Amino acid sequence: MSEFFVALPAAALYLFSAFRQWQTIRGDRPANRNMVLTLAMLASLTHMGVLVFSAATNSSDQSGINFAFYDIGSVIGLLITLLLLFSSLKKPVENLFVGLFPMIVIVLLVSSLSQRHESLQHLSYGLVWHIMLSMLAYSVFVIAAVQSILLSLQDRHLRKHKTHGLIQALPPLQTMDVLLFEMIWLGMILLTMAFAIGWPSVVDLKEQHLIHKVAFASIGWSVFALLLFGRYRFGWRGVTASRWTLIGTGFLVLSYFGSKFVLEVLIDR
């Protein structure tokens, strides 16, 4: 329970940052990018402190970051925030805070109440790198999914000649489209590297409970590969790109979280 109270300040900062940007999108208040980014940075630092506190609390019998089902979501939430803050140095990504930060808050608070702990001490360096790269890839694809939703909404508003509210707060459609595919390319590079590093560790798909994970991950990778080919060959963009991005991200989320949910929550392994 003490970890929950440590997580509350981070949750408040995340929500305040998202709410302040939502006010800008709605046109209720003028943009204040510095304030929004500062709040997000403070939230990420506090979130990092929560993870350190969790690791220290469990240091008596387990060490390192907790990689159990709920807690891995908290780690990915932090990675998403850090990636967004890094991208904000050159890209206008703060509108993504509105969709992502409330989800991160929910995962953060739930993980702070979880009592399960899973360490990576027994894994090889190859598997640890595989997990780290996979988490980075999933984080990028989750960001891309939210970006694709904004891109789809923007395209729909422009087709209906609505130029207020959300449209005024977003960069030009072409900039949004370029940003989406930059994220997809980065995610594909990270995911491909994770596959290459992790594959030698696969001995028995059934015994290692990897059948569903490998199947869904492979489908997700194939969806994004087809999207990139369609972009290159047919110039796919807009709503088409958004749909493919959401489908691919959905399969990747099922690949990791679906498997861990079944093993750790439903059958408690």
- In the numeric block, the tokens 């972009």 are attached to 231
Of 150-154, 169-173, 228-232, the range with the lowest mean pLDDT is: 169-173
Interval 31-52 mean pLDDT: 94
Query: For 106-113, what is the mean pLDDT?
Result: 89
pLDDT, position 53: 84
164: left (phi over 0), alpha (psi -120 to 50) or beta: beta
Tokens of 256: 């990791």
Provide the pLDDT for residue 1.
Answer: 60
pLDDT above 70 for 183: yes
| CA atoms of 188 and 192, how far apart (whole Å) | 6
Predicted confidence (pLDDT) per residue in 2-21, tens digit: 788 889 999 999 999 999 99
pLDDT-derived band at 79 (thresholds 50, 70, 90) equals very high
Which structure tokens are listed for 197?
């590093």
Q: Is the pLDDT of residue 91 over 70?
A: yes
Place of tokens 């999207």: 227
Residues 6+ away with beta carbon under 8 Å from 195: 217, 221
The one-character DSSP state at 266 is I
Mean pLDDT value of segment 124-153: 89
Spatial distance between the Cα atoms of 224 and 188, rounded to a whole number of angstroms: 7
pLDDT higher than 80, residue 166: no
Average pLDDT over residues 23-43: 92
**3-class SS at 118?**
coil
Of 89, 87, 227, residue with least CA distance to 148: 227
pLDDT at 175: 87
So what's the pLDDT on residue 268? 54
pLDDT of residue 169: 73
d(C-alpha 208, C-alpha 15), whole Å? 39
| Closest CA relative to residue 88, chosen from 75, 100, 74, 76 | 100
Q: Which of 51-65, 165-179, 203-217 has the lowest mean pLDDT?
A: 51-65
- The pLDDT score that the predictor gives to residue 211 is 78
Q: Quick check: 254 pLDDT over 60?
A: yes
Average pLDDT over residues 80-100: 92
Statement: residue 172 has pLDDT above 90: no
First-to-last CA distance in the chain?
A: 23
Residue 228: band (very low, low, confident or very high) from pLDDT cuts 50, 70, 90: very high
In the predicted structure, residue 257 carries a pLDDT above the cut 90: no
| pLDDT-derived band at 31, boundaries 50, 70, 90 | confident
- HEC-encoded secondary structure of 142-166: HHHHHHHHHHHHHHHHHHCCCCCCH
For 99, residues 6+ apart whose C-beta sits below 8 A from its C-beta are 146, 149, 150
Residues 6+ apart with CB under 8 A from 229: none
φ, ψ (nearest 5 deg) of residue 111 = -65, -30
Q: How far apart are CA 139 and CA 109, in angstroms?
A: 19
pLDDT higher than 60, residue 264: no
> In angstroms, how far is CA 170 from the centroid of its own chain?
20
Model pLDDT, residue 21 = 94
Average the pLDDT over 158-175 and give the result.
76
Query: How large is the C-alpha radius of gyration of the chain?
Result: 19
**pLDDT in the model for residue 27:** 81
- The residues spanned by each domain of the chain are 1-121, 123-269
Which amino acid makes up residue 97? F
Q: What is the three-state SS of 234-264?
A: HCCCHHHHHHHHHHHHHHHHHHHHHHHHHHH
- In this prediction, residue 171 carries a pLDDT of 82
Give the C-alpha separation, 244 to 36, whole Å.
30
